[in-house]
Amino acid sequence: MKYATRSILAVAIASVALVHATAAEASAWTLPKGKGQVLVTGVYSHSDRGFDANGRTIDIPDYDKQEVYVLGEYGVTDDLTLIAAPSFRHVGIQGATDDTTGLGYTELGGRYRVASGSRWVGSLQATARIPGTRRRDSLAQVGSIDAEFDVRALGGASFTIGRMSGFIDLASGYRVRAGDPPNEFRADATLGIRPAKRVLLYTSVSSSWSDGAGKGVFKAYRYHNAFLNAAYDLNDRWSLQLGGLATVGGKNALRERGGTGGLWFRF
């Protein structure tokens, strides 16, 4: 595999580390047999506004979140990639005494390539999500109390424009959530382009919609997060990433603004 193509696939896989749920939610590509990668991504976000039940922005107590996602992937075969993705987070709320610090969700599972061509791939992914430190907040991006199970269909394609290479990655899925929270539909899209050999620019949108309302405090919700990022390859194995995020729409959800940074290692 050529260096440029390898870097594109690594960034395509890594781009989902910026999506708040976990680092292991999208990317249609599998890793070659015997190859792996570890991607550490930090996310800081602040929310002093939220979305009400009608999608209007409203004042809410300030939320601050610091999160770290560690995505580990390994190609068991060319078609099957195993995934392990623990996360850590701190959630602070203005004027509240129930700030939490500790493990977030840990995601375990795999992605299987079902079809591919020279420039495209289709795959299926299934993961189990194990909760860490629990919070019972009704706001969609904060509450986490029980196990979850995620299934996805994914498709990706690479392309060239003149001397520039790029990729597009699409995913749609359904998440089953134990306990009171509602199940949810999910969709992600990522577009990346490499204007220089060591530089890749990419943008992504991640959307979640609850499948109705849950029980207790858990209302119906939706939210749509947008990300803009740049990655720089230090060499064949190491890359740095910086970017920003914003919630561009929602219902019964936080309106987040923040930044991301990452260090990626391929082996």
Contact status, residue 241 vs residue 12, Cβ threshold 8 Å? no
Please state the domain count of the chain.
Answer: 1
Residue 207, amino acid: S
The predicted pLDDT at position 151 comes to 97
d(CA 198, CA 6): 12
The predicted pLDDT at position 157 comes to 94
Q: Residue 251 sits in which domain range?
A: 3-266
The tens place of each residue's pLDDT in the chain, 267 residues long, gives 455 555 555 555 555 444 433 343 458 999 999 999 999 999 999 999 999 999 999 998 898 989 999 999 999 999 999 999 999 988 888 876 667 788 888 999 999 999 999 999 999 999 999 988 776 665 666 666 788 999 999 999 999 998 899 999 999 999 999 888 899 999 999 999 999 989 999 999 999 999 999 888 888 999 999 999 999 999 999 999 999 999 999 999 999 999 999 999 999
What are the angstrom distances between the C-alpha of 228 and each of 27, 45, 134, 143, 184?
A: 17, 14, 29, 25, 25
The predicted pLDDT at position 20 comes to 38
The predicted pLDDT at position 135 comes to 64
Query: How much is the pTM?
Result: 0.86
The predicted pLDDT at position 183 comes to 94
Beta strands in 76-219, from DSSP E residues, in sequence order: 80-85, 87-93, 100-103, 106-116, 120-130, 148-161, 164-177, 184-196, 199-210
Q: What is the domain-level CATH number for residue 242? A: 2.40.160.40
Tokens of 122: 């289709």
